[in-house]
Amino acid sequence: MHIEQAQLVSPSILQLHLSGSADTLQPSDIIIAPAVKIHELTVDGSVARVKTSPFDLSRSHSVLLRGSGIVRIDITPCLEALSTDVPLGCTVQNDVYIFRLFAPRASSVQLHLYDDVDDDLGSVHYLEKQDDGVWHAVLERPQDAQWYAYSIDGPRETGEMYNPRILVGDPYARAVATRNAFRHSARCLLPDLIPEYDWEDDTPVSILPEDLVIYEMHVRDMTAKQHAGDADVAGTYEALTDSGTQGSISYLRTLGVNAVELLPCQQFAWIEPPYLRHAGDQVYNDWNPYERNHWGYMTSYFFAPEPRYSRFADLTPGHWNDAAPRHIEEFKNMVKAMHRAGIAVIMDVVYNHSSQYDYQPLKYIDKKYYYRTSSNGTFLNDSGCGNDLNSRMPMMRRLIVDSILYWMEEYHVDGFRFDLASIIDDDTFVEIRERARALNPDVILIAEPWGAAYNPGGFSDLGYGAWNDVFRNGVKGYDPMKGRGYLFGSWGTSVPEDFGKWILGSVRSKGGPFLSHAHAVNYLESHDGYTLGDFIRIATGTARPGQVIEDAQALLRLDEHQLGIARLAAALLFVSRGSVMLHAGQEFARAKIIADRGIPDVTPSVLDHNSYEKDDETNWLDFSQREVNRALYEYYQGLIQLRSAVPALRRAPEYAYTFLSSPTSLASGFHLSGSGDYGDVLVLVNANHRDEAVYTVPADVQWNILADARRAGREVLGVHEGAQVRVPALTAMIMVAAER
C-alpha cells in the first residue's frame, strides 16, 4: 500500500488516498513534516481522513506513511474552501479604519501609511490573520496619513513571488497613485478622502440589444489630436464632455450612436520595461520599442479608474501620478454626460489576465491562489498576455463580481465587454449575470468568445451577447491578402446560404452559434487588426502589408470602387439582426499609419494592424480624415437614422423574412413582409463588382427608396413601382412600402 494523493481539505483535515485498504492504518504510521499534531484518524476503504491541529498554509508540507513512501500535500482543496463575505480593502466605520486583505498563504502582512504620496518612510502596522485567510487591522481615525500600501511575506519556494521588500497596492483600492516607471509602485488613497458625488437625477440608459449601435473607442484617442478646444484636457475624460473638443460627446451624438464601449479604463500598467535593456528580475523587453501599453489590456487595479486620462495627471517619467481622487469625479462626470446624451457606457474589462511587469498586487499576495499556474509554479498563458487569472477560486471570483457591481453602483456603468472571456469559468459568468441583473435588469453583457477556447454559442446559452466573428469573417474576411470575404467579389470560405445566416443574426436555426439574434454583436472592425478602411485598401491593391506609404493623403481618400465596398459593408452591418458595433473612425475609413517619432526598430509610414503600444498619432483619431471621406461618414450617419426609423430591421421575427436571389452572382436580398407590427421592407444587395443585378419584387407595392449606392437615411430618395428592380454593382438598396 502507498499514498496516491494527499489533500488538505480544510486547515485541520488531511485526506489520504491510498492504493489499497487503509483498515490497518494507525495514527502512529503517519508523519507530517513540518510537524503537525494528529488528533483523530478515520478510515473508509482506501481513504483515510486525518483530523489535525491547523496547518500553517504559508509552509509546504509532506506526509510520510511508514514503509509506503512520501508525497507533497496538495492544499488546493483547502484554499478552494476558504471564503468570506466580510468587506475587503480599507473601509471606514465610525471612528476607525478597517484594513482587510485576503492572503491565505502569507506568513506576515504589514500595512504602511504615508502622509504624502512620495514619502519613502511611513508608519508600519502589522495585520493579524483570521481563520478565513483574511488579514486585518483596525486603526483609529483621523490619521495624518492619506496613502497606504502593503508588504507581504510567505513561502519562498521556487515559483513563488513573496518579497517583503516590495510594497504593493490593495486589490480593492478605490483610487491609486503610481510612479511613472514600469514597476508602477503604488500608494492607495484612504477611502474617506474620496469626496461624495452628486449624480443628480442620473439613471442607467436602457437599450434593447437589437437597438444598440455601439461605438468602440479609446478615451485618449478620441480627443488627443487637437483641432479645437483646450489642449490641457486633450485625451481626457473631461475632453469627452467638452462640446468644443473634436471627438467629444457632441461628435457621437451627431453620428447617432447610442452606446460607447470604452477600451480598458480600470487602472492599468501603461509603462512597459525599457527597450533592449535588462530591467531586473529577468525582464528583458525585446518586443516593444515604445515601452508603452496604450490600449490598456494590462489591468492592475480592478476598482480604480485609470488616472492617466485625468486633466490633473502627471505623466512625467519617475513622478507620481497623483491625480486621485479628482479623476474619479472626472470619470463620473463623463458617464453622467453620456447618459444625458442618451448614450450608454460599456466598459471593456479584463478579468482573464492581469498586468504583467508591474508590482501587480495579486501576484505578490498569493500567485498560486489568484492565478492559473503549472505544477512547477509558472503562469499559464492561454491569454497570450503572460499570466491567466484563476476565476474558479472563490475569492478571485468574488473580486471579479464585486468589481462589476462596484462599477455599476459607484460609476453608473451600463454594461461590460469581457476580454478573452473563455478563460473565465461559466459559474463566474452566471454569478455576474444574476447579481448584475438584480441591480439593473437591462445591464449589457458582452463576451469576446475566445481565449482558451472558441465558444460563442456557450455564451449565448448563458444569456450573454458575443462578438460575432461569423458575420465579420464571412462578410469582410479574416485577412486582406489571403482571406477575403463576400465584399470583395467572391463567397470566400462561405456559401450563398450563409447570407441568410449573417442577416438573421447568426442564429442556430441558420447554422450560426446563437440562441437568439439578440446575442449577436455584429461588427466588421475592432481595435484588433487592420481598420476596415485599411483592410479595403490592402485588399484592393492600393497598399500592401509592410509597404512604406509615400503619399498618405492620396492613400486616405477612397476611390469610387473602394467607397462602394465600404458602403456595402456598412449597409450589410445595419440591416442585420443583432447589435451593431463600429470601431472609432470606421465611419470615415480611418487609416492607421505608423507615425514617424524616431522610435528605434520601428518602420514608420506603414499601415498598422496591432497598435496596442503606440501612444501617438498612429492611434489618435485625426478627424481631418473624416473630411477626406465625408461621403462615407454621411452614409453611416444615414444608416444609423434609417435603422432607427425602420424597426422591422431590428425586431421582425424570423418567419417574416423571405430571401431573394438574382441571376447575377453575389446578389442576395430579402423581403420583410409586414405582419401588422411592421411595414414591408426590401433589402436588395449586389456584391458583384461589375454587373448589375435584377430582382423580382412584389409589383403591387409602391416602394420608397431609403438607401441606394450613395445615400441613406430617413428621407425618401425616390420611388419604385413595378416587378423588377435593377441594382447596380456594389450597391445595397433599402426600400420600405409606401403607405396607401
Annotated catalytic residues are 419, 448
Cell 472626472, residue?
330
Question: CA–CA separation, 424 vs 383, rounded Å?
Answer: 11
112 near 130, Cβ under 8 Å?
A: no
Residue 201: which residues within 8 A CB-CB, separation 6 or more?
none
Measured CA distances, 202 to 197, 313, 399, 408 (Å): 12, 27, 26, 12
* Residue 184 backbone zone (phi > 0: left; psi -120 to 50: alpha; other: beta): left
Question: CA–CA separation, 111 vs 170, rounded Å?
Answer: 10
Question: CA–CA separation, 29 vs 378, rounded Å?
Answer: 34
DSSP calls for 711-739: -BSSS--EEE-SSEEEE-TTEEEEEEEPP
665 near 694, Cβ under 8 Å?
A: no
Among the listed residues 300, 246, 367, 267, the one whose alpha carbon sits nearest the alpha carbon of residue 620: 246
Instruction: Classify residue 294 as exposed, middle or buried by CB count within 10 Å of its CB (0-12, 13-18, 19+).
Output: buried
Directed axis angle between helix 426-439 and helix 394-411, to 10°? 30
214 near 235, Cβ under 8 Å?
A: no
40 near 51, Cβ under 8 Å?
A: yes
Cell 442564429, residue?
507
Before 142, cis peptide (omega within 30)? yes
Question: CA–CA separation, 543 vs 536, rounded Å?
Answer: 9
Which three three-digit cell numbers place residue 643?
Answer: 435603422
What is the three-class DSSP state of 67?
A: coil
- Residue 136 — φ and ψ, nearest 5°? -145, 155
Where in 640-710 does DSSP place strands (E)? 657-661, 667-672, 681-686, 693-696, 703-707
Which three three-digit cell numbers place residue 394?
Answer: 472563490
Question: At 177, which helix (H) or strand (E)?
Answer: strand 176-179
571 near 564, Cβ under 8 Å?
A: no
Which three three-digit cell numbers place residue 370?
Answer: 489568484
Which three three-digit cell numbers place residue 33?
Answer: 513534516
27 near 41, Cβ under 8 Å?
A: yes
Which three three-digit cell numbers place residue 252?
Answer: 457621437
369 near 398, Cβ under 8 Å?
A: no
